[in-house]
Structure 1
Amino acid sequence: MDVRKLAACVLVAATAGCTVVPGSNMNRMNSVWFDDTPEEYTPAETDIQYIPINATVLAHLSQTTPAQVLSNAELEAAIADYQYRIGPSDVLTIVVWEHPELTIPAGSFRTAAEGGNEVKADGTVFYPYAGEIHVAGKTTAEIKAMLEEKLASVIKRPQVDVRVADFKSQRVYISGAVRQPGTLPITSTPITLVDAIEGLGGLADNAAWQHIRLTRNGQTQEISLRSLYEQGAWSENLLLQHGDLVHVPRNDADKIFVLGEVNRPQGIAMSRTGTTLAEALASANGINENRADGRGIYVLRNTGVSRDNANQPVYTATIYHLNAASAVGFMLADKFTLEPRDIVYVSPAPITRWNRFLSQLLPSVSAVGVIDDLGDNND
């Protein structure tokens, strides 16, 4: 067999083996997958749900629970029952009416905090004629009653006023993507999660407000303030306690990836108020009209990992399919809200895949031509 025939046979074999046109494509009807996983690995199971994007699906996805938007009865009850309890390092101002000799004057050069009674580390304060009294864990009303009882032996019907001049024993810690991270004191006024964030300048522009983490007594829970800021859902708000650590993470990971036949494939940071499929496509400078198949726009969403009966991992995902061949499709795209880490894929048109196949085939055809010329010269 001469060189020309050998090259032709190689080319025919190569084209015969091209059962899949080169280049990425998505077709839910194609169930043939090529698995090159090594034999020593146990293949993981996948559970993929296919959902077309239409008006019925959008109506289901946009369902809300209005009851959660109205109020937070638990928070309202906690605020109504709130009482500040004294702790070490707090400074008290104690006044016995008509007995100025028992009151430490603030003076013109001292504040009430500087001239008050500081609670010692053991939770006690000293007061004339009352001695050392334990005040830690008590309210100002309880301390007032204690002092009136102790002073009654030396003062006829004593009238005592107790106030906190400086709150120093309790505080909450706010870190992460807020404008002024720091600490806030717990005072006689109850402080909620929103109060604390707003007290430090509010959320930063890059804050992931749906993934706020609250650590209390060694336990961490995730709180979403998205529905609160967007819809006034006070059910997301809560009363903070001493030692609470609130961390607001950055939204760097909250991205959407737009791939395939768009003019500028890229990762897009999600908007704080949410990003729709139409907005994501527009951020990628739209679909490429010359190469894209408007009937094949997909949203791939990883919905988690579970375990089967044999304790093997099962990866679940949902694929949403939009047919945007008409203007109605883009109207639906503007109503479809994406989630962080969603992958938007725009399929190539059949002619695009064919042209790519030809672009890979032509170098081989050219090589055969060169080989053919060499064979003629050798003859």
Structure 2
Amino acid sequence: MMRALVILLSLALGLAGCGVVYKSPSVDRMAGADGKLRVVDMTPETVLVANRSVYQPKSLPPVFFNTAGYGSGLRGAGPTPEPAFDRRPQEDFLETRLPPEVNPGPYRIGTGDVLLLATPQTGSTVEQLSGLLAATNARQGYTVQDDGAIAIPNVGRVQIAGLTLEEAEAALFQRLVENQIDPTFSLEIAEFNSKKVSIGGAVSQPTVAPISLTALYLDEALAAAGGITVEDQDYATVRIYRDGTLYQIPLTQLYARDGLRRIQLIDGDSVFVDTSYELDLAQAYFEEQIRLAQFEQSARNIAISTLNTEIGIRRDNQQDERNNYLERLDLDSVVRDYVYLTGEVESQRRYELPFGRTAALAEALYGNGGVPLRTGDASQIYVLRGSSDPREFGATTAWRLNTTNAGNILLATRFELRPNDVIFVAEQPVTKWNRVIQQITPSLVTTAANTAARASN
């Protein structure tokens, strides 16, 4: 019986050596079939050549990049009415009442401020090394809207109202990093519109003076209104309305004492130059300022409510579009680019090339479990790629990767895949013999059993 078993085994191995019992795919056999397959070893130079082939990855629909709030503007109740001024008779006595000293701290960004965001444009290596790139910055202005945010393309709405310039830079840096955008930028306030002081009464040009990074003092505010125009300074007074309290400084005292001219003003102050001891005119002016502020606040609240409704509707529509697209992906109804894995891999499958970027050989190969060490030949990993030239239909290049040297695995991270590439891993020689034995072992056992049974009879 043992002799029969040995004879059958020798015969099986001989047949296997001739390719009769077991056949497995190999790149060499494919090359011999039509003579159009060219094998090229992967080296840093050949990887560069392979990556030169033109390929534009498919992109996700624009709905995945749009933000619900970008491009929206607030619609208020229109411009506020112009303030009215009047004159009253003069009196012969004025009392000095000074406002308390204030320290508002660093400037905090508010609604209406315009921020200038400067980001570096793409430049040559020479420009980057020489520092000339700073002169070619892209500068874009963004207005802080009534919800306290600025809308930046591909980033969305960034809440910065109430922040100092340094805090706003930190918040913007975080959002750029979260959206995988180069966080190199500079930020500055181009227009100061959120903090204001109104100046009216006996001045050349009643106006509203903005408060900027530097403090605004009383003499500067009066100068911004063109100066005081009263004819008799002995009966004139400068009144300051702040937080419901009225303060006043006789004009003679204002010019006689330098410290009075350097009274620091804060957001919401109203300055009124009056030529009357009576407070009726000043009171009417301040009441008018309060009504205007209430009108603006009401319009702002209406605009914010409208904007939130529009953003909610837009966001729901965008989410529906995204969900529909994802469902189409699940149903395989979206045209995708694929790479196919075959041979000695963990599973024979197709690998979807990602949207918006190229994929490397290592992603498809090792994301699928890599090369089985017991059966796969680490020296024969191939990427089969057909020619894109119609005149060379059927011509194929096999880029061979030998990972028996672990250093070559880096090449797999740099080799870019193209649609319809085939990743093929050859089997080890011992794997082929092992599979031959597995195929013929049941026959040998059956034959040996039958021979033993006949001998016993």
> Whose Rg is larger?
2
TM-score bin (small chain): 0.3 to 0.5
Query: Which is richer in helix?
Result: 2
Q: Please give the TM-score of this superposition, normalised by the length of structure 2.
A: 0.35
Structure 1 or 2: more strand by fraction: 1
